């Protein structure tokens, strides 16, 4: 009945399914464990009419013209330059730490001299990972690095990851640099914004194709079996010889037989307030105080005008696989990456079986990079 199975309807699964159906005329079955499409990008109106991101804030940003054009077929955009501030004592300072932050912390005169030193060392517009900044021998640059490390980076990172920064993969720590510019935006990409009507309507349009069938609320493990004795994929007990794109946790696909891959999960505590404004910003990071890492105020994220406001606090914790928990962030290090490779190797015995996405590949992807990879993978399967 189907030429391809896609497991998961987040950006990876949805984009891949659309390309398979639209460009290759393949009939695609999309299996989604959640009760809705869109994966962790899913958004919806809460009981007060506020558009919220159920699984935490997702901001689209890209310099990839092809990905932007492809997604723009399915949505108009609300232009939004994401600006984050961190609560340090009684101050709210821009994050990443930039030249505006420098002036808040050091005052105009001293900051001007430090600015010239940073520009001559790294270049104007540079984005310098904090751990690289700490390697500098200049005592004044070291002092800046120490301030950022202690007040913005260290405790936040330990809350988010349950580890010290030195123990975390550089690909992760590099995502929070010191920026040698006056641009307060969190991202520097050409295109930044939100789907104007929300992510969920965008996903509905991506998956709206006569050759795509979506079954939500279905755990793929209940209907699909990887028979290692036969080296075959079985769908509802029958051999399936078409393409399979799997975007879920690869260890759980094999019952965690070698041990569970470590992830960080998140608890979201939503609160609606009958006031027009709570914090005046879309996101405030709590880098020193509090058990939670940040508060998102959605009306500033989406541009929605509402009388009241809805916020969410994020509390990180170690993923255990318990009912209701969601694996969000892979904890990448040599030991965990080696464990992942053992699981990935088990999939190689199945023809036309492809791992795609944050969970299936055990790495971090931004939305645009994930969409681009999904499109490229699906196009490569023309003869699969």
- pLDDT at residue 111 is higher than 80: yes
The whole model's pTM is what? 0.93
Q: Is residue 188 part of a domain?
A: no
Our CA angle for 30, 16, 66, nearest 5°, is: 150
Q: Which two tokens stand for residue 69?
A: 């054009």
Sign of CA dihedral 44, 47, 48, 54: negative
Q: Is residue 204 part of a domain?
A: yes
**Of 314, 289, 312, 4, the residue nearest 151 (C-alpha):** 289
Write down the pLDDT at residue 11.
Answer: 98
Shared-domain flag, residues 100 and 175: yes
Q: What is the DSSP letter of 349?
A: G
pLDDT tens column, 216-267: 999 999 999 999 999 999 999 999 999 999 999 999 999 999 999 999 999 9
Q: Read off the pLDDT band of 134 (50, 70, 90).
A: confident
What are the residues whose beta carbons fall under 8 Å from the beta carbon of 78, sequence distance 6 or more? 193, 194, 195, 196, 302, 303
Write down the pLDDT at residue 113.
Answer: 95
**Of 78, 66, 65, the residue nearest 19 (C-alpha):** 66
Write down the pLDDT at residue 24.
Answer: 96
Shared-domain flag, residues 91 and 157: yes
Q: Is residue 365 part of a domain?
A: yes
Sign of CA dihedral 131, 97, 156, 46: negative
Shared-domain flag, residues 252 and 347: yes
Q: Read off the pLDDT band of 384 (50, 70, 90).
A: low
- pLDDT at residue 132 is higher than 90: no
Q: Which of the listed residues 179, 214, 233 is the one where a domain comes to its end? A: 179
Shared-domain flag, residues 232 and 147: no
Q: Beta 283-285 vs 294-297: how paired, if at all?
A: antiparallel
- The total of structural domains in the chain comes to 3
Shared-domain flag, residues 91 and 27: no
To the nearest whole number, what is the mean pLDDT of the chain? 94
Shared-domain flag, residues 168 and 98: yes
- pLDDT at residue 141 is higher than 90: yes
Shared-domain flag, residues 246 and 361: yes
Q: Is residue 184 part of a domain?
A: no
Domain that holds residue 294: 263-318
Q: What percent of the chain has pLDDT over 90?
A: 87
Please state, in angstroms and as integers, the Cα–Cα distance from residue 354 to each residue in 217, 374, 380, following that order: 22, 11, 11
Q: How far is CA 316 from the centre of its chain?
A: 14
Q: Is residue 187 part of a domain?
A: no
Write down the pLDDT at residue 153.
Answer: 85
pLDDT tens column, 307-320: 999 999 999 999 99
End-to-end CA distance of the chain: 16
Write down the pLDDT at residue 130.
Answer: 84
Q: How far is CA 346 from the centre of its chain?
A: 26
Write down the pLDDT at residue 162.
Answer: 87
Shared-domain flag, residues 104 and 172: yes
Report the C-alpha dihedral over residues 237, 238, 240, 241, rounded to 10 degrees: 140
Q: What is the mean pLDDT of residues 295-300?
A: 97
Shared-domain flag, residues 214 and 289: no
Q: How far apart are CA 362 and CA 344, in angstroms?
A: 10
Q: What percent of the chain has pLDDT over 70?
A: 98
Shared-domain flag, residues 143 and 225: no
């Amino acid at each position: 009945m189907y030429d391809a199975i896609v497991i998961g309807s987040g950006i990876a699964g949805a984009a891949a399914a659309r390309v398979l159906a639209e460009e290759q005329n393949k009939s695609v079955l999309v299996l989604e464990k959640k009760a809705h499409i869109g994966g962790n990008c899913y958004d919806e109106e809460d009981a007060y009419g506020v558009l919220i991101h159920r699984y935490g804030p997702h901001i689209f940003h890209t310099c990839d013209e092809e990905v932007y054009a492809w997604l723009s077929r399915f949505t108009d955009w609300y232009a939004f330059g994401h600006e984050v501030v961190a609560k340090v004592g009684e101050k709210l300072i821009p994050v990443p730490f930039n030249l505006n932050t420098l002036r808040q912390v050091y005052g105009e005169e001293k900051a001007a001299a430090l600015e010239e030193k940073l520009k001559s060392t790294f270049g104007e517009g540079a984005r310098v990972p904090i751990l690289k900044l700490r390697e500098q021998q200049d005592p004044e640059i070291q002092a800046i690095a120490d301030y950022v490390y202690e007040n913005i980076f260290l405790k936040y990172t330990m809350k988010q990851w349950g580890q010290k920064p030195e123990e975390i993969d550089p690909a992760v720590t590099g995502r929070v640099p010191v920026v040698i510019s006056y641009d307060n935006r969190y991202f520097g990409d050409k295109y930044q914004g939100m789907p104007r009507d929300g992510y969920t309507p965008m996903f509905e349009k991506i998956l709206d194709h006569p050759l795509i069938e979506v079954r939500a609320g279905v755990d793929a493990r209940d209907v699909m079996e990887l028979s290692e004795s036969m080296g075959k994929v079985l769908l509802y007990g029958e051999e399936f010889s078409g393409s399979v794109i799997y975007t879920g946790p690869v260890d759980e696909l094999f019952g965690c037989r070698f041990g569970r891959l470590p992830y960080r999960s998140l608890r979201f505590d939503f609160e609606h307030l009958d006031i027009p404004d709570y914090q005046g910003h879309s996101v405030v990071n709590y880098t020193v105080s509090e058990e939670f890492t940040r508060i998102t105020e959605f009306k500033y994220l989406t541009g929605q005008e509402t009388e009241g406001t809805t916020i969410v606090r994020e509390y990180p914790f170690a993923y255990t696989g318990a009912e209701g928990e969601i694996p969000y962030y892979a904890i990448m290090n040599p030991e965990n990456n080696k464990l992942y490779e053992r699981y990935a190797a088990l999939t190689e015995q199945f023809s036309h079986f492809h791992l795609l996405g944050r969970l299936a590949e055990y790495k971090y992807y931004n939305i645009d990079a994930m969409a681009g990879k999904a499109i490229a993978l699906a196009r490569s399967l023309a003869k699969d």
